[in-house]
A and B are shown apart, each in its own frame.
Chain A
Amino acid sequence: GENVEQHPSTLSVQEGDSAVIKCTYSDSASNYFPWYKQELGKGPQLIIDIRSNVGEKKDQRIAVTLNKTAKHFSLHITETQPEDSAVYFCAANPNRDDKIIFGKGTRLHILP
């Protein structure tokens, strides 16, 4: 089955700097890679996703890159702001399966 590894587990970044979170996956059949943001006391919310036919996707300050050969994908947040402080999860979904498997999460702290 699919296994998703996520690093780092904790990340502290000065406000205005960039943050990068990296994930690897094991199942080469996976073709959908979403990223979720979880704020305190709430359920995760989708912030961006990418499919395997695309190498990069951007949405304002957030971008995701995918390297299918190496089986890794990354989340990039530029010009970080205090409201970016949260837990971020990467996930993967194998094409032949209806499961979405999550990484263990990264707690992002934006320092003033």
Chain B
Amino acid sequence: NAGVTQTPKFRVLKTGQSMTLLCAQDMNHEYMYWYRQDPGMGLRLIHYSVGEGTTAKGEVPDGYNVSRLKKQNFLLGLESAAPSQTSVYFCASSGQGGSTLHFGNGTRLTVT
């Protein structure tokens, strides 16, 4: 049972480039979340989804877009990367709101 899988694990982008981070879960969870982790800032919620076809903004949504076309996948897009988006990105899923989050192992993104 893989749980939550994030791809890629590492990526380096130049300012202005775009990319998509993929999150896949095999637990049939309804809820999926994208967080970013920065030193001294903890985990901050970017966007989340409460079911296939739905998305909602979190604490720090600017500069990111998301899509949940399939229940098992949650995509995070950066349209025009900026150095301020250098971070470690974590995807998580849960069976319902207010319950255990299952995290992937993160994607380390560097924007130069």
Residues in A lying within 8 Å of B, measured CB to CB: 1, 6, 9, 31-32, 34, 36, 41-46, 49, 89, 93, 95, 97-105
| Interface residues as binary, B22-60 with A (CB distance below 8 Å gives 1, 0 otherwise) | 000000000101010000111111001010000010110
Cα(A42)–Cα(B59), bound, Å = 22
Cα(A25)–Cα(B103), bound, Å = 23
Asked if A44 and B43 sit within 8 Å, CB to CB, the answer is yes
Closest to A106 in B: B42
Asked if A97 and B97 sit within 8 Å, CB to CB, the answer is yes
Cα(A89)–Cα(B43), bound, Å = 9
Beyond the given A89-B42, A102-B45, please list 12 additional residue pairs across the A-B interface where CB-CB is below 8 A. A32-B98, A42-B105, A43-B4, A43-B103, A44-B43, A46-B100, A99-B45, A99-B59, A100-B98, A101-B45, A102-B35, A102-B43
Residues in B lying within 8 Å of A, measured CB to CB: 4, 31, 33, 35, 40-45, 48, 50, 56, 58-59, 90, 92, 97-101, 103-106
Cα(A45)–Cα(B100), bound, Å = 9
15 interchain pairs (CB within 8 A)?
A6-B42, A9-B40, A32-B98, A34-B101, A41-B105, A43-B4, A43-B104, A44-B43, A46-B101, A98-B48, A98-B56, A98-B97, A99-B58, A99-B59, A102-B43
By a CB distance below 8 angstroms, the chain A residues around B100 are 34, 46, 49
B27 CB to nearest chain A CB (Å): 14
* Choice from B97, B98, B105 contacting A43 with Cβ under 8 Å: B105
A30 CB to nearest chain B CB (Å): 9
Asked if B101 and A100 sit within 8 Å, CB to CB, the answer is yes
Cα(A52)–Cα(B45), bound, Å = 23
Asked if B92 and A43 sit within 8 Å, CB to CB, the answer is yes
